[in-house]
Amino acid sequence: MPELPEVETTRCGIAPHIIHKSIQKIIIYTKKLRWPIPTTVYQLEKQVVSNVGRRGKYILIETSVGTAILHLGMSGYLQLLPKGTPLKKHDHVEIIFSNDICLRLNDARRFGAFLWQNNSTIHSLLKGLGPEPLTAVFSAAYLLQKLQTKNRAIKLVIMDNAVVVGVGNIYANEALFLAGINPNRIAKSLSLKECKNLVHAIKKVLQKAIKAGGTTLKDFQNIEGKPGYFQQSLKVYGRINSTCVKCGNCLSSNRIGQRLTVWCEICQL
């Protein structure tokens, strides 16, 4: 998937086409993605989309009765197509609008989700999420305070949705490189200055990636089926066994929490 920039690219791509549009029909081709799709999502039918929001990597299709919650997992994407376009392999759900366009969720690995919340409740998946990385709430002071109880690698902590949402493996690697911080550092050992650098790096790398339309690795594509271009800017992710773009040193790699991590031993302390 899609990390936050890819999700945001997707949200921006679909929003203008479906806001204020009326939903005619929901068709579910695959009953279970990461979780079974609840039948409550049929409440979307006959409703008008009031807004298309995002919380972390969840896309929120809002109506006056409730909100459909979409997650793209590792391999999901959304497409807007004319109603009746032949289905592709791994098209799991479609939302048909009254103007005869439909929104389809395709997800080869089925790690994504299609869920529902009534307007009076908050889905448990959305509870306990940390701040959005691109808001002022996510600050150096906030991060420093959060790190005080954390004896794990800093990379794991910035990828923890309870600390800050939306930072996945690509951008965690990239932000730590940009901030000059070794991903293996014990989180609570970071100084305020390092927290400042890291928070700044996370915001910068995410903003740049959103501007570039996301990162395309294998199967991510935006709403028009076009790739993102941020992969051209990656400094460490995917560059295992290559040399550091800054100092020429051979990059190091290991696994942190089962996720491939790449860094420069000289530039990241």
Partner DNA sequence: ATATCCACCTGGCGGC
Partner DNA sequence: TGCCGCCAGGTGGATA
Give the residue numbers marked as catalytic.
Answer: 2-3, 57, 259
CB distance 234 to 260 below 8 Å:
no
Shortest distance, position 106 Cβ to DNA, whole Å: 11
Contact 68, 112 (CB under 8 A): no
Q: Which is nearer to DNA, 9 or 63 (CB)?
A: 9
**Exposed, middle or buried by CB within 10 Å (0-12, 13-18, 19+), for 160?**
middle
Whole-angstrom Cα distance, residue 121 to residue 215? Answer: 34
Task: For helices 4-18 and 192-211, give the axis angle rounded to 10 degrees.
Answer: 40
Question: Whose Cβ is closer to DNA: residue 21's or residue 152's?
Answer: 152
Chain contacts with DNA (rule: CB under 7 A): 1-3, 6, 32, 34, 56-57, 71, 73-75, 89-90, 108-111, 124-125, 149-152, 156, 161, 168-170, 214-220, 228, 257-260
- 199: CB partners within 8 A, 6+ apart: 138, 139, 140, 143
Q: Do the Cβ atoms of 80 and 103 come closer than 8 Å?
A: yes
Contact status, residue 75 vs residue 1, Cβ threshold 8 Å: yes
Q: How far apart are CA 186 and CA 183, in angstroms?
A: 8
Q: How far is the CB of 47 from DNA (least distance, A)?
A: 26
Q: Which residue has the tokens 């800093």?
A: 154
Q: Minimum distance between the CB of residue 242 and DNA, rounded to whole angstroms?
A: 15
Q: Which is nearer to DNA, 71 or 268 (CB)?
A: 71
Q: Which is nearer to DNA, 48 or 74 (CB)?
A: 74
> Closest distance between DNA and the C-beta of residue 108, in Å?
4
CB of 218 to DNA, least distance (A): 3
Q: 66 or 228: whose CB is closer to DNA?
A: 228
Please list, in sequence order, all residues whose beta carbon lies within 8 angstroms of the beta carbon of residue 39, skipping any fewer than 6 positions away. none
Q: Look at residue 24 and give its three-state secondary structure.
A: strand
